[in-house]
Amino acid sequence: MPMTSEDKSGKFGSNFPPINLIFLDTQLKHAGHKVCITTENYSIKAVSDIIRDFQPDVIGITFMTLGFPNLASFVEMIFEVAPDISIVTGGYHSTLFS
């Protein structure tokens, strides 16, 4: 069952798989890159732990407009954990307003 806006507060993720990231994941793995996708409803602390453990060079974020209010705190956390990381965004909102 999809989460309500109230349930989603403080969580990052979706109940729907990000097909665009899954396609990208497949292509990157095929090219020999190590990839980690999180599609669960993790807390910001859990995501920061994943980033710290995985130590990526690039983080891709896909989000819908409903998740936009939480995006700033999410990006701030990323830069606290990995200050030199490159972030790539996708999804309807970032495409529409870029």
pLDDT in tens, the chain (98 residues): 344 444 445 555 555 666 777 888 899 999 999 999 876 677 888 889 999 999 999 998 877 666 677 788 889 999 999 999 999 887 776 676 65
Domain ranges of the chain: 12-96
CATH of domain 12-96: 3.40.50
C-alpha gyration radius of the chain: 13
C-alpha dist (Å) from residue 12 to 18, 41, 66, 79: 13, 5, 11, 16
- Write the DSSP symbol of residue 32: T
Instruction: Give the amino acid at 83.
Output: P
Please give the model's pTM, rounded to 2 decimal places: 0.70
Give me the pLDDT at residue 2, please.
Answer: 41
Rounded CA-CA distance 85/44 in Å is: 17
Sign of torsion, CA 40 43 47 53? negative
